[in-house]
Structure formats: structure tokens, C-alpha cells
Amino acid sequence: MTAQPELFACAPLSPLHFERQALARGYSKVAGVDEAGRGPLAGPVVAAAVILPDTFDLPGLTDSKQLSEKARDRLYPLIRAQALAVGIGVARVEEIDRVNILQATLRSMQRAVGRLGVPADFLLIDGNMPVPLDLPQQTLVKGDARSLSIAAASVVAKVVRDRIMVSLDRLHPGYGLAGHKGYGSAAHRAAIAALGPSPCHRRTFGGVREHCR
């Protein structure tokens, strides 16, 4: 596993600047990797890895946090249809509580890369932590706003996780999971205090652990 240092000497010339930089160095399958769900009090952390074609162009695609739910739902099938490969990795609540959220997040990213239908030979990782894989990679702080393949991964991860949370809301009613997606809103915290944590709550997280019996 080798992570390239990030350079800030000049602004990217295009949303595929980092991908094309890697291609120019001889790599052929560059995957963007991002996650959704590090901060919530409930539900899994979900990662996605996406390899885009060099000619990829999808107007409106950017960091999933800057997009509305409607926009993400519109972009999701278009990304799936146009990408060379998409991989999804999940770390469930029990694993998050057992190994901590950082390690669970890295594991979910590792799984996402491993589930790509086309093997990646270079990774662009959102954030500053390399993925524990023996692959050349580059970390990019705020990469979901700077790299199109990371932006695509952020949308895929967010949409998949949101759909999981809607399913969990049906299994564990009363917490409003379909609305806040497990994040620590005032209403969510009040529901945990009143009902106690459900099986999908992260018992090592503040806002949950104090209500465990």
C-alpha cells in the first residue's frame, strides 16, 4: 500500500484532473472511494468505489452532501449505468461497536474496492487516511468536491445507505430513521431516551451508550 502525497500547487484543471494524472503515470483503472455514515448514531457505514470512463460527463455531479435527496436519486442510476465498475462495502453496527468507527470505515472501503467488477490499479480516497490495501493510492481532503470519481462514489454510498435506513425504519419504528437517516437530531436523541436504543443503534456512541441498560 503506497499513498501519494497531496500537492496544492495548482487547482485541478477539470473534475477528472486527478484521474487523468494517474492515467498519465501508467495506471488504467482508477477508482474513487468514499463513504457515507460515519457520524450517525444508528445504522451501518457504507462505502462505494467507482471507476469512471475517461469520457465521463454527468452535469450536476458533485459532493453528495451538496446535493438534495432528489438530485442524488436522479444521479444514482446514471452513475451505475455509465461507470466501468461500482463496488459497495458495508460495516454493520456490531462491527462499528467492536472495532471503532474509523476502522469500520476503512474496512467498508476495503470491501467496496474488493467488490469492483473490474479490478482497480489506483485509488483516489476521500479524506486523509489510506485504505489498508496493497494498491497505489492518493488521499484527497475534500476529494468528493475535487474528483469526479470520488463524487460519484459519495453519491452511490449515500443513496445505498439512505435506502438501508428506510428499511431499518420499518424494522424499528418510533425513531424516525427514514427521516434523519440515523443522525443525531434532537428528535432522534429524544426517541432514544424515551424508547431506549434499538438493535441498529451504535452503543459505543455518545447519545446512545448512556441509555443502554
Total structural domains within the chain: 1
What's the pLDDT at 65? 86
Per-residue model confidence as pLDDT tens digits over 22-32? 999 999 999 99
Per-residue model confidence as pLDDT tens digits over 159-199? 999 999 999 999 999 999 999 999 999 999 999 999 999 99
Tell me if 112 is assigned to some domain. yes
Domain extent at residue 74: 12-170
Tell me if 196 is assigned to some domain. no
Tell me if 181 is assigned to some domain. no
63-88 average pLDDT score: 94
37 pLDDT above the threshold of 80 = yes
Tell me if 205 is assigned to some domain. no
- The Cα 14–Cα 52 span in angstroms is 14
Tell me if 20 is assigned to some domain. yes
CATH of residue 134's domain is 3.30.420.10
DSSP 33-72: EEEE-SS-SBS-EEEEEEE--TT---TT---GGGS-HHHH
* Amino acid making up residue 58: L
Structural contact between residues 3 and 141, judged by C-beta atoms closer than 8 angstroms = no
Task: List C-alpha distances in Å: 45 to 57, 102, 198.
Answer: 28, 10, 17
- The Cα 56–Cα 198 span in angstroms is 42
Tell me if 198 is assigned to some domain. no
45 pLDDT above the threshold of 60 = yes
In which band, very low, low, confident or very high, does the pLDDT at 90 lie, cut at 50, 70 and 90?
very high
Q: Indicate the average pLDDT of the chain.
A: 93
Tell me if 122 is assigned to some domain. yes
Tell me if 199 is assigned to some domain. no
Structural contact between residues 51 and 72, judged by C-beta atoms closer than 8 angstroms = no
Using a cut of 0.85, tell me whether the model's pTM lies above it.
Answer: yes
Q: Tell me phi and psi for residue 74, to 5 degrees.
A: -75, -40
What's the pLDDT at 3? 62
